[in-house]
Homo-oligomer: A and B are copies of this chain.
Amino acid sequence: MADQEKNKNNIENRWTWLDSGVAAPKGFFATGVQAGIKYQNKYDVALIYSDRMAQAAGVFTRNKVKAHPLVLTQKHLEDGQAQAVVVNSGNANACVGEAGDQAALAMACETAKCLGLKTEDVLVTSTGVIGVEMPVVRVVSGIQAAAAEIKKLVGTNSSLLEAGVQADTDSKAKAETKVKSEVDNEAKTGSEAEARALVHEHGTLAARAIMTTDTTLKQVAGELGCKSGVIRVGAMAKGSGMIHPNMGTMLGFITTDAAVDHAELKDLLVQAVDESFNMVTVDGDTSTNDMVVILANGASGVTPEGEELEAFKELVSEICVKLAQEIARDGEGATKLIEVKVLGAESVDGARQIAKAICGSSLVKAAIFGEDANWGRILAAAGYSGADFNPDLVDIYLGDVIVASEGRGLNFSEEKAKEVLEQKEIVITVNLNSGQDSATAWGCDLTHEYVTINGKYRT
C-alpha cells in the first residue's frame, strides 16, 4: 500500500515504457512500404489499422495554407471516429489545386477498399515537397502492398488477439519498471512471441516510412495498469526539420486500446499537444501539413475514470513530450537539444510565449551552438516575446549555473558555464519570480549544417 501511494506521487512509476510504437495497443496494426514516391529504396507509405472502429480526434496546423489531405482528414474526423490512417512521405500534396483533393480522396478510397472500410473512416496525411502533383499510381500501389501486409499480420495474430496479447515489450525496459503489465504474467508460446515481434517490426516500418529529413526514427509506447486491466498507448512522429522534401512537417500519430470518447480524446489531445508539439521550435516555420491524431479503439476493455483517467491523460502528454524532445533533438543540422523552462510566471500562456521566444531566437540558438554563455540574448528574447513581465525580477540559469539575477548579469564562472554548454542537452531556466505558472519549450542549436541542408534541397 505504501508503494502504491508512492506510485501515485511519482508519475514515472505509474506506467511502463514499451519498446514499441503505434502497434503496441491491442487491435492496432501498422506497416510501411517502399512505393518510390520520390526516392527508390525509401519507405514512404505507412498504414495504421485498427481491427475495430476507433474513436478519433486530431489537431491541425494553424497555417492559412492547408494541404489537401489535411482538409479531407478534418472532414473524416467530423463524426469522431476512424479505423485507419494512411500516410505518405516524399510529397506534401499541397498547393496543387483540384488534383490534390482528388489524390487525397484516392488514397482514402484505396485504403478503404483494401481493408474493407468506409472511405470516411480513413484519415490521410502527406509530408514532402509542396506544389508538385502526387504520383497517385505509385501511392495506390504502395497502399495495396501495405494493406496486404496488414491483412497478413491480422490473420497471424487473430488467435493472440483474442488472448489479449500483442506487441512485444523491451526486456531491459521491463527490468527497470515498477509496474508489471498483465502481458508478463501470461504464458507465451514460441509462435506467439514471433507474431508479436512481427507486429512490432512492422509498426517500426510505419515509423520509418513517415521520416523525411529526420535522422532518427521516432516512436514510443507505454502501458498503464488499471484496476480492470492494462491500457496501452503507442505513438510515432516525424520532425519539423524542414527541407528535402521542401516543407517537412510535424506529424504525430497516437493509438490506444483504452475506451475513451472522441470528445474526451479531443480535449486531452489539445492539452497534450499544447505542452509538447506546440512547444517545439526548430526554425519557427509552421507547415501546411502539421497534424497530430489519436485513435482509441477500446480493445483493452478498460474505460479509464477518475484517477486512472488522469494517469491516462498524463501518459498521453508524456508520450507527446518525449516525441517533441526527439523532434527538437533531431532538428535539421542540430548538435544540441535546448530545453527552456520558464518558472514563476503569472500565466501559463505568458510562460509559453517566453519559453518559445527564447527557444526560437536565432541569436540564442547560434550562441548555444558556439557554447557561449550569452545570457543577454536570453533576456532580450524574453523581452520581445510579447508576454508581460518585470525584467528587474528575472533570474537566468544555464544548467545549474546562475548567470543573471534580478535582470542583471552576475560575475559567474565562465568555466562552469562552459561545462554546461559543452553538453548535448542544455537546460536554460528563466525564473520570472512573479507567479506560480510555468512552461517548457524545446529547440535545437542553429548550425552551419542547417544552412547547408536548407540552402540545397531542391537541386
Contacts and interface: CB of A to CB of B under 8 A. Distances in A.
A283 interface: yes
Contacts of A381: 285
Q: Is the interface of A mostly helix, strand, loop or mixed?
A: loop
A453 B367 CA distance: 9
A379 interface: yes
A285 B383 CA distance: 10
Nearest to A67: B380
A60 interface: no
Interface stretch (A29-37, A47-55, A171-179, A239-247): A239-247
Interface residues of A, number: 68
Interface stretch (A94-102, A221-229, A260-268, A341-349): A94-102
Interface string A440-459: 00000011101111111111
Contact of A457 (B97, B246, B372): B372
Contacts of A404: 95, 131
Given A374-B458, A455-B369, A63 B284 contact: no
Contacts of A366: 450-451, 453-455
Contact of A372 (B283, B452, B455): B455
A456 B63 contact: no
A283 B362 contact: yes
A435 interface: no
Nearest to A376: B130
Interface in A337-373: 360-363, 366-367, 369-373
Contact of A451 (B64, B369, B377, B453): B369
Contacts of A284: 284, 360-362
Contacts of A131: 375-376, 404, 408-409
Contacts of A450: 362, 366, 451
Contacts of A448: 448, 451-452
Interface stretch (A77-85, A108-116, A384-392): A384-392
Nearest to A289: B380
A225 B300 CA distance: 84
Contacts of A65: 379-380, 382-383, 391, 407
A250 B283 CA distance: 23
Interface in A194-247: 242-243, 246-247
Contacts of A456: 370, 372
A429 interface: no
Contacts of A363: 242-243, 247, 283, 285, 454
A246 B369 contact: no
B64 A391 contact: yes
Interface string A266-310: 000000000000000001111110000000000000000000000
Contacts of A254: none
Given A130-B376, A131-B376, A383 B454 contact: no
A129 interface: yes
Contacts of A370: 454-457, 459
A388 B64 CA distance: 8
A45 to B, nearest CB: 21
A416 interface: no
A118 interface: no
A370 B382 CA distance: 31
A452 B66 CA distance: 35
A122 B94 CA distance: 56
A424 interface: no
A62 interface: yes
Interface of A: 62-66, 92, 94-97, 129-132, 242-243, 246-247, 283-288, 360-363, 366-367, 369-377, 379-385, 387-389, 391, 404, 406-409, 446-448, 450-459
Given A92-B376, A130-B380, A242-B363, 8 more contacts: A95-B409, A96-B409, A247-B363, A283-B362, A284-B361, A285-B363, A288-B379, A370-B456
Top 9 closest pairs, chain A to chain B, by CB: A370-B455, A130-B376, A131-B409, A366-B454, A65-B383, A63-B383, A286-B384, A283-B362, A64-B383
